Amino acid sequence: MTETRVGAGSCLCGAISFTAKKMTTNVAACHCNSCRKWGGSAFMEVNCGPEVEFNDVDKLSVFDSSEWAERGFCSACGSHLFYRLKETQEHMMPVGLFDDDSGLVFRRQVFIDERPHYYQYSNKTEDLTGEELFAQFAPAED
């Protein structure tokens, strides 16, 4: 069972603050090409589920990044706020946005097959290729 807690934080300029009602304590890194283009390197995130409240939606911009997901950012400072699955509304949020990072543990890396050769984390994590990750979401065969 994954431990959850309430998490709060904000973008760089403070225009958008948020509360995540069910933030996991597991940190993951995504090495896919899209995430690296979006942020310049791996996307270090925590799953905050669908229950995330933002204080200033006027400054919240959303980019439709794929058939299944969208990415949110602050229109004032450009801070990345979330990667959100369209179907479930689950928010994967950058771990650096949170005011309190105590108790968080780096547990998983995905799209390791797209990770560039010039970096590698030394943490012991569950490592999945893109194919292995997508297989977890495939419908069960009868």
pTM for the whole structure: 0.90
Do the domain assignments include residue 74? yes
pLDDT band at 142 (very low <50, low <70, confident <90, very high): low
Give the model's pLDDT for residue 136. Answer: 84
Do the domain assignments include residue 43? yes
Do the domain assignments include residue 22? yes
Do the domain assignments include residue 141? no
Q: What is the pLDDT of residues 1-29, one digit of tens each?
A: 578 999 999 999 999 999 999 999 999 99
Cα 37 to Cα 33, 65, 74, 79, 92: the distances in Å are: 6, 12, 17, 14, 16
- Tally the domains of the chain: 1
Count of residues for the chain?
142
Mean pLDDT on 94-102: 97
For residue 12 the two structure tokens come to 């760089």
Average pLDDT, the chain: 94
Do the domain assignments include residue 137? no
Do the domain assignments include residue 71? yes
Mean pLDDT on 92-113: 97
pLDDT surpasses 70 at 33: yes
pLDDT surpasses 70 at 141: no
The C-alpha atoms of residue 30 and residue 12 are separated, in whole angstroms, by 22
Phi-psi region of 112 (alpha: psi -120 to 50; beta: other; left: phi over 0): alpha
- Sheet of 4-10, strand order: 4-10, 17-24, 52-54
Do the domain assignments include residue 28? yes
Domain that holds residue 32: 4-129
Q: What is the pLDDT of residues 69-85, one digit of tens each?
A: 999 999 999 999 999 99
CATH number at residue 114: 3.90.1590.10
